[in-house]
Structure 1
């Protein structure tokens, strides 16, 4: 079952990347996606490897596909392929990160104190959070990281932004929810909490609401990805998520 679920999830991730992109170019082992409007967004301008590839050729593939950009990002969806690519990519100057594919296997929680919110409500808190996370980048980079959300509606049949508000009405925590009711798959992506609101249960409210929204749409496969080296993976495990696979990212400035 995990293998079947992982294959379905990887197919969803592949389709989302292709559908969201303005331009797609096939490369050996996968494809490159581009969006010049958000050129500073690595996720919108990257190489995605979703089949077998010659590991030794991957640095050259990435260089050719992304030569016009100041960054390089290569996402390898298959764990075995990603591990084989690690040595030649790190030798070429890339930083290697491993991400966990986590499937929600616990019971779907009832209710949820968050709600669907619009981009306008997210813009200010999201900008402030990115400025805190990336204090050395300029305003144009932050703007791209915030505004790229507007094109995520192209990636899936249903895209919602879920937010939990303070008593004053400000959005304290938020996440994306991508739904494909026809295939029963839902992804929760980029769960973030405003720094001043950490530890107050707002992220729990967002996660609970997103899971309930997904279940109400008939999505039995509910997943997210988490950095294997960072603490949120344990937070997700305590909330009913289990690791079913790994993917790999290679980045270079």
Structure 2
């Protein structure tokens, strides 16, 4: 069951990446997505591995694709088992390796009581930019704008923005919900609660709302991606999510460090 769910989640993610990309380039063992307008957003400019490939092939493909696009950094996503030789080859070449879990909702009681609203993308632009400035100080102003406005690239027909709003209508917490009723798959992504409002159950309420709306849309698989070593894995387990499998993110900063 988990293997089948994992394959469906991975396929959904790859299809979603292609749909929101401005440009795609096929490479050995995968494809790259690119977006010149959002050149500092790694999620919109990355190489995604889909099949067997060596570290050397990945490094060469990334250097060609990113170099042609004028990008100094490198971002790679590898879903599924990643051999030690691949990890070693990339880390030897200056890539940082991070491990993610794909987790799916497998049932359980979800919290109620916190109202969650569906909002327009524009509602989240200013709060998201302020949040990025607070969470990642020292970046260029243009980078913060890109990070906040990247949500405008999401396929409109597949994306809902969920938020917990204050009495004045300003967002206190939010997430994105990607829905594909044809595939019966949904993904919860970009979950964030502003620091002043943490500890009130807003994140749990957003996850619960995402699961409920996915069910209503006919999706029998709702999943999310979380950092395996530095993410709220325990929270998601308590909400009824269980690991399906792993993914790796490989990043090399400008200058190769």
Q: Is this a same-fold pair by TM over 0.5?
A: yes
Compared with structure 1, are the counterparts of its residues 43 and 27 closer, same or farther at alpha carbon in structure 2 (3 Å cutoff)? same
Match of 1:87 in 2: 88
SS in 2 for 1:222: strand
Counterpart CA distance in 1 for 2:138 and 2:40 is: 14
Unaligned runs of 5+ in 1: none
Aligned pairs (5 A) from 1:46-65: 46-65=46-65
1:77 is displaced (CA, Å) by 1.1
* Count of residues in Structure 1 that have an aligned counterpart in Structure 2: 250
- What TM-score, normalized to structure 1? 0.94
1:22 is displaced (CA, Å) by 0.7
Question: Are the aligned partners of 2:109 and 2:239 in contact in 1 as well (CA < 8 Å)?
Answer: no
Deviations 1:127-151 (A, max 9, x none): 1110011101011001001111011
SS in 2 for 1:215: helix
Question: Are the aligned partners of 1:108 and 1:211 in contact in 2 as well (CA < 8 Å)?
Answer: no
Match of 1:252 in 2: 252
109-118 or 28-37, larger mean C-alpha shift? 109-118
Match of 1:33 in 2: 33
Match of 1:99 in 2: 100
From 76, 79, 95, the equivalent of 1:77 is 79
Counterpart CA distance in 1 for 2:111 and 2:233 is: 22
Match of 1:124 in 2: 126
Question: Are the aligned partners of 2:110 and 2:239 in contact in 1 as well (CA < 8 Å)?
Answer: no
105-114 or 63-72, larger mean C-alpha shift? 105-114
SS in 1 for 2:115: coil
Aligned pairs (5 A) from 1:184-195: 184-195=184-195
Match of 1:171 in 2: 171
Deviations 1:102-143 (A, max 9, x none): 011123647662011112211121111100111010110010
Unaligned runs of 5+ in 2: none
- What TM-score, normalized to structure 2? 0.93
Question: Are the aligned partners of 1:108 and 1:212 in contact in 2 as well (CA < 8 Å)?
Answer: no
For the aligned residue pairs, the C-alpha RMSD in angstroms reads 1.5
SS in 2 for 1:79: coil
